[in-house]
Amino acid sequence: MTKPGKVKLKTSFGIKRKIKTLIFILLGSIIAITTVCVGVLLIMSPGKIKQFTDQNGRKIKNSMAEKCFVEINGVKMGMMIKSKDISNPVLLFVHGGPGMPEYFLTEDYPTGLEDYFTVVYWDQRGAGLSYNKKIEKSTISVEQYIDDTIAVTNYLQERFGQEKIYLMAHSWGTYFGIQAVQKAPQLYNAYIAIAQVTDQNESEKLAYQYMLDYYSKSGDVKTLEKLQKTNYSSDEYGKIRDDVMHRAGIGTTHEMKSVMTGIFFSSLKNREYTLTEKINLWRGKVLLNKNTQLKMEIDLRETVTKLDVPIYFFSGAFDYTVNYEMAEEYLKQIEAPIKGFYLFENSAHSPIFEEPTKITQIIKSDILNGTNNLANTK
Protein backbone atom coordinates (compact mmCIF):
# COMPACT_ATOMS: atom_id res chain seq x y z
CA MET A 1 0.00 0.00 0.00
CA THR A 2 1.40 3.42 -1.04
CA LYS A 3 1.59 6.01 1.66
CA PRO A 4 -0.42 9.24 1.10
CA GLY A 5 2.69 11.44 1.45
CA LYS A 6 4.46 9.67 -1.42
CA VAL A 7 1.41 10.02 -3.70
CA LYS A 8 1.33 13.74 -2.98
CA LEU A 9 5.06 14.01 -3.68
CA LYS A 10 4.76 12.25 -7.03
CA THR A 11 1.75 14.35 -8.03
CA SER A 12 3.56 17.58 -7.14
CA PHE A 13 6.64 16.49 -9.09
CA GLY A 14 4.48 15.67 -12.14
CA ILE A 15 2.80 19.09 -12.08
CA LYS A 16 6.17 20.82 -11.86
CA ARG A 17 7.44 18.85 -14.85
CA LYS A 18 4.38 19.86 -16.87
CA ILE A 19 4.82 23.51 -15.91
CA LYS A 20 8.50 23.41 -16.95
CA THR A 21 7.57 21.77 -20.23
CA LEU A 22 4.95 24.43 -20.91
CA ILE A 23 7.45 27.19 -20.10
CA PHE A 24 10.04 25.69 -22.48
CA ILE A 25 7.39 25.38 -25.21
CA LEU A 26 6.26 28.98 -24.62
CA LEU A 27 9.82 30.32 -24.68
CA GLY A 28 10.59 28.25 -27.78
CA SER A 29 7.51 29.62 -29.51
CA ILE A 30 8.42 33.21 -28.61
CA ILE A 31 11.97 32.72 -29.92
CA ALA A 32 10.68 31.09 -33.11
CA ILE A 33 8.12 33.85 -33.74
CA THR A 34 10.70 36.56 -33.02
CA THR A 35 13.18 34.91 -35.39
CA VAL A 36 10.57 34.70 -38.14
CA CYS A 37 9.53 38.35 -37.62
CA VAL A 38 13.12 39.57 -37.73
CA GLY A 39 13.71 37.47 -40.85
CA VAL A 40 10.63 38.93 -42.55
CA LEU A 41 11.68 42.47 -41.59
CA LEU A 42 15.15 41.88 -43.01
CA ILE A 43 13.67 40.64 -46.28
CA MET A 44 11.39 43.70 -46.35
CA SER A 45 14.29 46.07 -45.65
CA PRO A 46 16.79 45.94 -48.52
CA GLY A 47 17.29 49.71 -48.25
CA LYS A 48 17.44 50.15 -52.01
CA ILE A 49 15.80 53.27 -53.45
CA LYS A 50 13.12 52.67 -56.05
CA GLN A 51 13.99 54.37 -59.34
CA PHE A 52 11.58 56.05 -61.74
CA THR A 53 11.18 53.75 -64.74
CA ASP A 54 9.28 53.76 -68.03
CA GLN A 55 6.83 51.09 -69.21
CA ASN A 56 9.78 48.95 -70.31
CA GLY A 57 11.39 49.05 -66.90
CA ARG A 58 14.19 51.39 -67.95
CA LYS A 59 15.20 54.31 -65.74
CA ILE A 60 13.63 57.55 -66.94
CA LYS A 61 16.21 59.89 -68.43
CA ASN A 62 17.18 62.81 -66.14
CA SER A 63 15.25 61.26 -63.25
CA MET A 64 16.78 60.80 -59.82
CA ALA A 65 16.13 58.60 -56.80
CA GLU A 66 18.88 58.70 -54.22
CA LYS A 67 19.55 58.21 -50.53
CA CYS A 68 22.52 60.33 -49.54
CA PHE A 69 24.39 61.44 -46.44
CA VAL A 70 25.97 64.89 -46.16
CA GLU A 71 27.82 66.63 -43.35
CA ILE A 72 25.77 69.63 -42.29
CA ASN A 73 27.11 71.91 -39.55
CA GLY A 74 29.38 69.15 -38.26
CA VAL A 75 26.77 66.34 -38.26
CA LYS A 76 26.18 63.62 -40.86
CA MET A 77 22.60 63.97 -42.06
CA GLY A 78 20.56 61.79 -44.38
CA MET A 79 18.12 62.73 -47.09
CA MET A 80 16.05 61.07 -49.79
CA ILE A 81 16.06 62.87 -53.14
CA LYS A 82 13.36 62.07 -55.71
CA SER A 83 12.76 63.68 -59.09
CA LYS A 84 11.45 62.72 -62.50
CA ASP A 85 13.54 65.51 -64.00
CA ILE A 86 16.46 67.00 -62.11
CA SER A 87 16.21 70.21 -64.13
CA ASN A 88 13.01 71.01 -62.22
CA PRO A 89 13.13 73.45 -59.28
CA VAL A 90 14.42 72.05 -55.99
CA LEU A 91 11.95 71.70 -53.12
CA LEU A 92 13.27 71.08 -49.60
CA PHE A 93 10.71 69.19 -47.49
CA VAL A 94 11.04 69.91 -43.76
CA HIS A 95 9.25 67.18 -41.84
CA GLY A 96 7.17 67.30 -38.68
CA GLY A 97 7.66 65.82 -35.26
CA PRO A 98 9.88 66.69 -33.58
CA GLY A 99 11.74 63.68 -34.87
CA MET A 100 9.22 62.24 -37.33
CA PRO A 101 10.53 61.95 -40.92
CA GLU A 102 7.69 61.45 -43.39
CA TYR A 103 9.27 60.10 -46.56
CA PHE A 104 8.18 56.52 -45.80
CA LEU A 105 4.54 57.64 -45.85
CA THR A 106 4.80 58.55 -49.54
CA GLU A 107 4.60 54.85 -50.36
CA ASP A 108 1.03 54.67 -49.01
CA TYR A 109 0.24 58.30 -49.82
CA PRO A 110 1.94 59.32 -53.11
CA THR A 111 2.22 63.10 -53.32
CA GLY A 112 3.09 63.65 -56.99
CA LEU A 113 5.59 66.34 -56.00
CA GLU A 114 8.34 64.57 -57.97
CA ASP A 115 6.54 65.52 -61.20
CA TYR A 116 7.21 69.23 -60.59
CA PHE A 117 10.21 69.40 -58.30
CA THR A 118 13.42 67.73 -57.34
CA VAL A 119 12.14 66.87 -53.88
CA VAL A 120 14.58 66.57 -50.99
CA TYR A 121 13.20 64.79 -47.93
CA TRP A 122 15.74 65.88 -45.32
CA ASP A 123 15.88 64.06 -41.98
CA GLN A 124 16.59 66.69 -39.33
CA ARG A 125 19.41 66.55 -36.81
CA GLY A 126 18.93 63.44 -34.66
CA ALA A 127 15.96 62.13 -36.67
CA GLY A 128 15.65 59.07 -38.93
CA LEU A 129 18.61 58.77 -41.29
CA SER A 130 20.31 61.53 -39.28
CA TYR A 131 20.02 59.67 -35.96
CA ASN A 132 23.21 59.24 -33.97
CA LYS A 133 23.22 58.18 -30.32
CA LYS A 134 26.46 60.15 -29.82
CA ILE A 135 24.99 63.43 -31.05
CA GLU A 136 25.83 66.37 -28.81
CA LYS A 137 22.65 67.09 -26.85
CA SER A 138 23.45 70.81 -26.61
CA THR A 139 23.07 71.07 -30.40
CA ILE A 140 19.47 69.92 -30.27
CA SER A 141 17.78 73.33 -30.29
CA VAL A 142 15.40 75.38 -32.41
CA GLU A 143 18.17 77.85 -33.24
CA GLN A 144 20.39 75.02 -34.48
CA TYR A 145 17.56 73.61 -36.60
CA ILE A 146 17.10 77.02 -38.21
CA ASP A 147 20.80 77.15 -39.06
CA ASP A 148 20.70 73.53 -40.31
CA THR A 149 17.82 74.39 -42.66
CA ILE A 150 19.81 77.24 -44.16
CA ALA A 151 22.94 75.07 -44.45
CA VAL A 152 20.99 72.29 -46.21
CA THR A 153 19.56 74.93 -48.56
CA ASN A 154 23.06 76.16 -49.40
CA TYR A 155 24.17 72.59 -50.11
CA LEU A 156 21.23 72.01 -52.46
CA GLN A 157 21.76 75.30 -54.27
CA GLU A 158 25.37 74.36 -54.98
CA ARG A 159 24.67 70.75 -55.87
CA PHE A 160 21.84 71.47 -58.31
CA GLY A 161 23.08 74.81 -59.54
CA GLN A 162 19.96 76.75 -58.57
CA GLU A 163 20.03 80.29 -57.21
CA LYS A 164 16.92 79.77 -55.09
CA ILE A 165 14.84 76.79 -53.96
CA TYR A 166 11.33 76.22 -52.57
CA LEU A 167 10.84 75.33 -48.92
CA MET A 168 7.87 73.19 -47.90
CA ALA A 169 7.43 72.53 -44.18
CA HIS A 170 4.93 70.43 -42.26
CA SER A 171 3.66 70.91 -38.70
CA TRP A 172 6.65 71.09 -36.31
CA GLY A 173 8.79 71.81 -39.37
CA THR A 174 6.84 75.04 -39.96
CA TYR A 175 7.83 76.30 -36.52
CA PHE A 176 11.51 76.70 -37.40
CA GLY A 177 11.09 76.55 -41.20
CA ILE A 178 9.33 79.91 -41.32
CA GLN A 179 12.05 81.36 -39.08
CA ALA A 180 14.72 80.11 -41.49
CA VAL A 181 12.96 81.85 -44.38
CA GLN A 182 12.68 85.02 -42.31
CA LYS A 183 16.42 84.84 -41.56
CA ALA A 184 17.55 84.16 -45.15
CA PRO A 185 14.75 85.10 -47.60
CA GLN A 186 17.22 85.52 -50.47
CA LEU A 187 17.59 81.73 -50.63
CA TYR A 188 13.96 80.90 -51.36
CA ASN A 189 11.48 81.19 -54.23
CA ALA A 190 8.56 80.68 -51.87
CA TYR A 191 7.58 79.27 -48.49
CA ILE A 192 4.88 76.56 -48.43
CA ALA A 193 3.47 75.57 -45.05
CA ILE A 194 1.34 72.53 -44.34
CA ALA A 195 -0.39 72.98 -40.97
CA GLN A 196 1.42 76.17 -40.02
CA VAL A 197 2.14 76.53 -36.31
CA THR A 198 1.25 79.83 -34.60
CA ASP A 199 0.92 79.56 -30.81
CA GLN A 200 0.94 75.83 -30.17
CA ASN A 201 -0.14 76.09 -26.54
CA GLU A 202 -3.33 77.88 -27.58
CA SER A 203 -3.84 75.36 -30.38
CA GLU A 204 -3.59 72.45 -27.93
CA LYS A 205 -6.20 74.06 -25.70
CA LEU A 206 -8.64 74.38 -28.62
CA ALA A 207 -8.01 70.75 -29.63
CA TYR A 208 -8.70 69.58 -26.09
CA GLN A 209 -11.98 71.50 -25.99
CA TYR A 210 -12.93 70.09 -29.40
CA MET A 211 -12.39 66.53 -28.19
CA LEU A 212 -14.39 67.02 -25.03
CA ASP A 213 -17.30 68.10 -27.22
CA TYR A 214 -16.67 65.34 -29.79
CA TYR A 215 -16.59 62.46 -27.30
CA SER A 216 -19.53 63.89 -25.40
CA LYS A 217 -21.67 63.97 -28.55
CA SER A 218 -20.47 60.54 -29.70
CA GLY A 219 -21.47 58.97 -26.38
CA ASP A 220 -17.99 57.62 -25.68
CA VAL A 221 -18.21 58.04 -21.91
CA LYS A 222 -15.01 56.12 -21.18
CA THR A 223 -12.82 58.38 -23.35
CA LEU A 224 -14.65 61.49 -22.19
CA GLU A 225 -13.97 60.65 -18.53
CA LYS A 226 -10.34 59.92 -19.35
CA LEU A 227 -10.00 63.35 -20.94
CA GLN A 228 -11.80 65.10 -18.10
CA LYS A 229 -9.33 63.65 -15.61
CA THR A 230 -6.41 65.32 -17.37
CA ASN A 231 -5.28 68.82 -18.29
CA TYR A 232 -4.29 69.47 -21.90
CA SER A 233 -0.82 70.60 -20.82
CA SER A 234 -0.16 67.67 -18.46
CA ASP A 235 2.09 64.66 -18.97
CA GLU A 236 -0.90 62.36 -18.50
CA TYR A 237 -2.71 64.03 -21.40
CA GLY A 238 0.43 63.66 -23.50
CA LYS A 239 0.22 59.89 -23.09
CA ILE A 240 -3.29 59.67 -24.59
CA ARG A 241 -3.19 62.65 -26.97
CA ASP A 242 -2.28 60.85 -30.19
CA ASP A 243 -4.82 58.08 -29.61
CA VAL A 244 -7.79 60.31 -28.80
CA MET A 245 -6.96 62.73 -31.62
CA HIS A 246 -6.75 60.01 -34.25
CA ARG A 247 -9.95 58.34 -33.10
CA ALA A 248 -11.66 61.74 -33.37
CA GLY A 249 -10.41 62.18 -36.95
CA ILE A 250 -8.21 65.18 -36.20
CA GLY A 251 -4.82 63.47 -36.24
CA THR A 252 -2.31 62.73 -39.00
CA THR A 253 -5.08 62.17 -41.54
CA HIS A 254 -8.84 62.35 -41.18
CA GLU A 255 -9.21 58.64 -41.94
CA MET A 256 -6.23 57.38 -39.90
CA LYS A 257 -7.58 56.05 -36.60
CA SER A 258 -4.36 54.66 -35.14
CA VAL A 259 -0.71 55.72 -35.05
CA MET A 260 0.28 52.08 -34.74
CA THR A 261 -1.42 50.90 -37.94
CA GLY A 262 -1.17 54.16 -39.85
CA ILE A 263 2.40 55.19 -39.13
CA PHE A 264 4.41 52.54 -37.27
CA PHE A 265 3.44 49.64 -39.56
CA SER A 266 3.97 51.86 -42.61
CA SER A 267 7.51 52.58 -41.51
CA LEU A 268 8.25 48.86 -41.07
CA LYS A 269 7.00 47.79 -44.49
CA ASN A 270 8.81 50.48 -46.51
CA ARG A 271 11.52 48.71 -48.51
CA GLU A 272 13.75 51.74 -49.11
CA TYR A 273 15.11 51.67 -45.57
CA THR A 274 17.40 49.06 -44.03
CA LEU A 275 16.24 47.43 -40.80
CA THR A 276 18.78 49.50 -38.85
CA GLU A 277 17.44 52.68 -40.45
CA LYS A 278 13.89 51.70 -39.48
CA ILE A 279 14.95 51.14 -35.89
CA ASN A 280 16.80 54.47 -35.87
CA LEU A 281 13.66 56.19 -37.16
CA TRP A 282 11.95 55.40 -33.86
CA ARG A 283 15.05 55.87 -31.74
CA GLY A 284 15.25 59.39 -33.14
CA LYS A 285 11.57 59.95 -32.39
CA VAL A 286 12.14 59.04 -28.74
CA LEU A 287 15.28 61.21 -28.58
CA LEU A 288 13.60 64.34 -29.95
CA ASN A 289 9.89 64.18 -29.19
CA LYS A 290 10.21 64.92 -25.47
CA ASN A 291 13.28 67.15 -25.76
CA THR A 292 12.51 70.34 -23.84
CA GLN A 293 14.90 72.35 -26.06
CA LEU A 294 12.54 71.76 -29.00
CA LYS A 295 9.38 73.06 -27.38
CA MET A 296 7.33 75.42 -29.53
CA GLU A 297 7.19 78.14 -26.91
CA ILE A 298 7.28 81.24 -29.13
CA ASP A 299 4.06 82.74 -30.50
CA LEU A 300 5.09 83.17 -34.13
CA ARG A 301 2.35 85.74 -34.64
CA GLU A 302 4.46 88.11 -32.56
CA THR A 303 7.93 87.24 -33.90
CA VAL A 304 7.45 86.49 -37.62
CA THR A 305 5.26 89.26 -38.97
CA LYS A 306 6.86 89.80 -42.37
CA LEU A 307 8.40 87.57 -45.05
CA ASP A 308 10.06 88.81 -48.21
CA VAL A 309 8.95 85.81 -50.28
CA PRO A 310 5.57 84.49 -51.50
CA ILE A 311 3.92 82.38 -48.79
CA TYR A 312 1.31 79.63 -49.13
CA PHE A 313 -0.51 77.96 -46.23
CA PHE A 314 -2.24 74.55 -46.67
CA SER A 315 -4.61 73.49 -43.88
CA GLY A 316 -7.10 70.67 -43.40
CA ALA A 317 -10.63 71.47 -42.25
CA PHE A 318 -10.35 68.68 -39.65
CA ASP A 319 -6.94 69.76 -38.39
CA TYR A 320 -6.85 70.40 -34.67
CA THR A 321 -3.35 68.98 -34.23
CA VAL A 322 -2.35 72.45 -35.45
CA ASN A 323 -5.46 74.61 -35.45
CA TYR A 324 -6.36 75.57 -39.03
CA GLU A 325 -8.36 78.67 -38.10
CA MET A 326 -5.39 80.09 -36.22
CA ALA A 327 -3.19 79.46 -39.28
CA GLU A 328 -5.64 81.31 -41.53
CA GLU A 329 -5.81 84.30 -39.22
CA TYR A 330 -2.03 84.33 -38.96
CA LEU A 331 -1.63 84.49 -42.73
CA LYS A 332 -3.83 87.60 -42.84
CA GLN A 333 -1.47 89.36 -40.44
CA ILE A 334 1.81 88.58 -42.22
CA GLU A 335 3.28 91.04 -44.69
CA ALA A 336 4.42 89.28 -47.87
CA PRO A 337 4.58 90.01 -51.62
CA ILE A 338 2.06 87.22 -52.31
CA LYS A 339 -0.09 85.28 -49.82
CA GLY A 340 -2.48 82.38 -50.18
CA PHE A 341 -4.41 80.27 -47.67
CA TYR A 342 -5.86 77.01 -49.02
CA LEU A 343 -8.42 74.99 -47.06
CA PHE A 344 -8.67 71.25 -47.73
CA GLU A 345 -12.19 70.16 -46.87
CA ASN A 346 -11.44 66.41 -46.67
CA SER A 347 -8.18 66.60 -44.75
CA ALA A 348 -6.97 66.75 -41.19
CA HIS A 349 -3.30 67.39 -40.41
CA SER A 350 -1.72 66.26 -43.70
CA PRO A 351 -3.38 67.58 -46.90
CA ILE A 352 -0.16 66.70 -48.75
CA PHE A 353 -1.04 63.01 -48.21
CA GLU A 354 -4.83 63.29 -48.10
CA GLU A 355 -5.60 65.48 -51.12
CA PRO A 356 -2.51 65.32 -53.35
CA THR A 357 -4.44 66.08 -56.56
CA LYS A 358 -5.58 69.43 -55.20
CA ILE A 359 -2.04 70.11 -53.98
CA THR A 360 -0.59 69.58 -57.46
CA GLN A 361 -3.28 71.80 -59.00
CA ILE A 362 -2.25 74.62 -56.65
CA ILE A 363 1.42 74.01 -57.43
CA LYS A 364 0.83 74.20 -61.20
CA SER A 365 -1.57 77.14 -61.12
CA ASP A 366 -0.29 79.30 -58.29
CA ILE A 367 3.03 78.41 -56.71
CA LEU A 368 5.13 77.88 -59.83
CA ASN A 369 3.62 81.02 -61.35
CA GLY A 370 3.88 83.17 -58.24
CA THR A 371 0.13 83.80 -58.04
CA ASN A 372 -2.70 83.01 -55.60
CA ASN A 373 -5.71 82.59 -57.88
CA LEU A 374 -6.97 79.39 -56.20
CA ALA A 375 -6.57 80.63 -52.63
CA ASN A 376 -9.48 80.73 -50.18
CA THR A 377 -7.92 83.72 -48.44
CA LYS A 378 -5.36 86.14 -49.89
| 9-18, 83-92, 117-126: segment of lowest average pLDDT | 9-18
**pLDDT above 70 covers what percent of the chain?**
89
Residues 6+ apart with CB under 8 A from 199: 299, 300, 301, 326
| The pLDDT of residue 290 | 80
Rounded average pLDDT over 14-39? 65
pLDDT per position as a tens digit, 198-213: 999 999 999 999 999 9
pTM as predicted: 0.90
Rounded average pLDDT over 53-67? 93
Report d(CA 364, CA 378) in Å as an integer.
18
CA angle 14, 20, 25 (to 5 degrees): 125
Helix axes 324-333, 200-218, angle to 10 degrees: 150
Q: What are the Cα distances from residue 195, in Å, to 127, 175, 278, 345, 364?
A: 20, 10, 26, 13, 20
Q: Is the pLDDT of residue 1 over 60?
A: no
Tell me the pLDDT band of 8, cut-offs 50, 70 and 90. low
Q: Is 242 helix (H, G, I), strand (E, B) or coil?
A: helix
pLDDT per position as a tens digit, 230-246: 998 898 998 999 999 99
| The pLDDT of residue 46 | 72
pLDDT per position as a tens digit, 170-190: 999 999 999 999 999 999 999
Q: Average pLDDT, whole number, for the chain?
A: 91
Q: Is residue 294 a contact partner of residue 163, using CB atoms and an 8 Å limit?
A: no
Tell me the pLDDT band of 328, cut-offs 50, 70 and 90. very high
Rounded average pLDDT over 296-315? 97
Strands 64-72 and 90-94 turn out to be: unpaired
DSSP state of 324: H
What is Dmax (Cα atoms) for the chain?
A: 104
| The pLDDT of residue 137 | 87
- Top mean pLDDT of 17-31, 227-241, 304-318 is at 304-318
Q: Is residue 91 a contact partner of residue 118, using CB atoms and an 8 Å limit?
A: yes
CA end-to-end span of the chain: 100
Tell me the pLDDT band of 124, cut-offs 50, 70 and 90. very high
Tell me the pLDDT band of 164, cut-offs 50, 70 and 90. very high
Report d(CA 208, CA 201) in Å as an integer.
11
